[in-house]
Amino acid sequence: MDKLAVRGGEKIRQKPWNFNAVIGDKEEQSVREVLESGILSGFIAKAGDNFLGGKFLKKFESQVRDYFKIENVVAVNSATAGLHMALGACGIGPGDEVIVTPYTMSATATAIIMQNAIPVFADIEDNFFCLDPKSIEEKITARTKAIMVVHLFGHPARMNEIMAIAKKNNLFVIEDCAQAPGALYNGSYAGTIGDIGIFSLNQHKTITCGEGGFAITRKGDLAKRMQLIRNHGEVVAKDLGLDDFTNIIGYNYRMTELEAAVSLVQFQQLERLNQYRIELADYLSEKLSRFDELMVPRQASDSKHVYFVYTLRVKGDAGIKRDPLVKALQAEGIPFGAGYVKPIYLEPMYQKKTAYGNKGCPFTCSFYQGAPSYDKGICPVAERMHEKELMLSGVCRYPHSREDMDDVVRAFKKILTSNDDLIF
């Protein structure tokens, strides 16, 4: 048997992987048009046409509206801004609790803190790594105002059950779709099922403009409030006929014309880039499912997975150790990571309950009577995935090919047939 690279043997793969944005002539042309126009951002914080941004931004929003067949789109300069804006539009504020998964990019939960509200973490289920409806129900209190759902890794959460819980308890549902643009649940796009869907266009996402994002919603009143929060709303709201000023603290979450120009061309590539990911992921899963030690990603029968991330689970009873396996893969030139993120409540901001100032706000404040636990152990499934079972990779994407996937398979084969006591 070949010596493992981690033991000093030859690597399976020398060739680098390519994780760059997929940018072509059309993006270049589109950006050139903006530069030649001399208007790099079309926004003015004043009632009137420019309150809603420039020509390219409006064109981008209209394209997104057509794709999702949804009434309202609000483009912003990041998904983090979008999540914050969405919570503000829903009226979330001091004393409120928002139920959220701990297994997500930090901003999903931080946006709740930014609105002076309290993240309450519910556990995930271990098939698709999204919020477990049963755990959500257990976390609801009289203070709960919203559920923040994340369609993690490109697979939709169990929206039917989540929407039923929300309806029963009169809660808003915000969908964080940063990793799932184009994913389907029961024939509906992720992001069109709850009250508001938020998408990211940052460098690492399926389509990108560097930094950017957008919100979609069927509800005109929420869209209007988001537009105010995006663009210094407190000085514009009255002129626009708004009576309820709750949370109309306007930020500058405006997307530039340059970002919009790139986004609108990128958006036209979304289906093709998703299809590319799906084909590579299916190919890899077919090959890797032959290894008894691994569980390849699943897709619910009512869902379309868009494989923003390719996940594998190490079977608990297979007798292999995940972390050394990941190290061995990396040594072979195959980029896998162990776990995803540390469950968010274990981060120091939650452990020390320090956010605004040094008096414990918003966790301990006169408007808030609750005391949710951020102790280790509160979300055992998320912790088990992070510590022991989950491993993931971003290799299933353009411009990688089936030959590149074969390198991944060869590395797994080399390692899993080695009987090396590092791993077994």
Ligand X SMILES: *Cc1c(COP(=O)(O)O)cnc(C)c1O
The residue ranges that bind ligand X (CB under 6 A) are 78-80, 104-105, 107-108, 150, 176, 178-179, 200, 202, 213
Nearer to ligand X (CB atom), residue 103 or residue 368: 103
- Residues near 341 by Cβ (< 8 Å), separated by ≥ 6? 103, 104, 105, 106, 386
CB 283 within 8 A of CB 402: yes
Q: What is the DSSP letter of 385?
A: I
Nearer to ligand X (CB atom), residue 178 or residue 281: 178
Nearer to ligand X (CB atom), residue 107 or residue 334: 107
Output the smallest distance, CB 249 to ligand X, in A.
19
Nearer to ligand X (CB atom), residue 44 or residue 341: 341
Nearer to ligand X (CB atom), residue 200 or residue 311: 200
Nearer to ligand X (CB atom), residue 98 or residue 288: 98
Distance, CA of 74 to CA of 230 (rounded, Å): 8
Phi, psi of 147 (to 5 degrees): -120, 130
Nearer to ligand X (CB atom), residue 129 or residue 368: 129
Distance, CA of 202 to CA of 159 (rounded, Å): 25
CB 192 within 8 A of CB 218: yes
User: What does the angle CA 283 – CA 288 – CA 291 come to, to the nearest 5 degrees?
Assistant: 160
- Token readout for 394 is 């971003």
Q: In what order do the strands lie in the sheet with 144-150?
A: 72-76, 213-217, 196-200, 172-176, 144-150, 97-100, 118-121
Nearer to ligand X (CB atom), residue 61 or residue 332: 61
- Residues near 230 by Cβ (< 8 Å), separated by ≥ 6? 74, 76, 81, 85, 250, 251, 253, 254
Nearest partner of 222 among 200, 197, 239, 199, judged by Cα: 197
Output the smallest distance, CB 178 to ligand X, in A.
3
SS3 388: helix
- Token readout for 171 is 């809660």
Q: Within 13 A of 327's CA, how many CA atoms are on the CB side? A: 11
- Token readout for 199 is 């998408």
Output the smallest distance, CB 312 to ligand X, in A.
19
Output the smallest distance, CB 179 to ligand X, in A.
5
Output the smallest distance, CB 101 to ligand X, in A.
9
Number of helices (H) and strands (E), helices first, in the chain?
13, 14
Output the smallest distance, CB 105 to ligand X, in A.
4
Output the smallest distance, CB 278 to ligand X, in A.
18
Give 423's strand partners: none
Nearer to ligand X (CB atom), residue 197 or residue 362: 197
Output the smallest distance, CB 176 to ligand X, in A.
5
Output the smallest distance, CB 119 to ligand X, in A.
13
Nearer to ligand X (CB atom), residue 185 or residue 368: 185
SS3 210: strand
Kindly provide the b/e burial profile for residues 91-100, where b requires at least 16 CB atoms within 10 angstroms of the residue's own CB. bbbebbbbbb
Output the smallest distance, CB 157 to ligand X, in A.
12
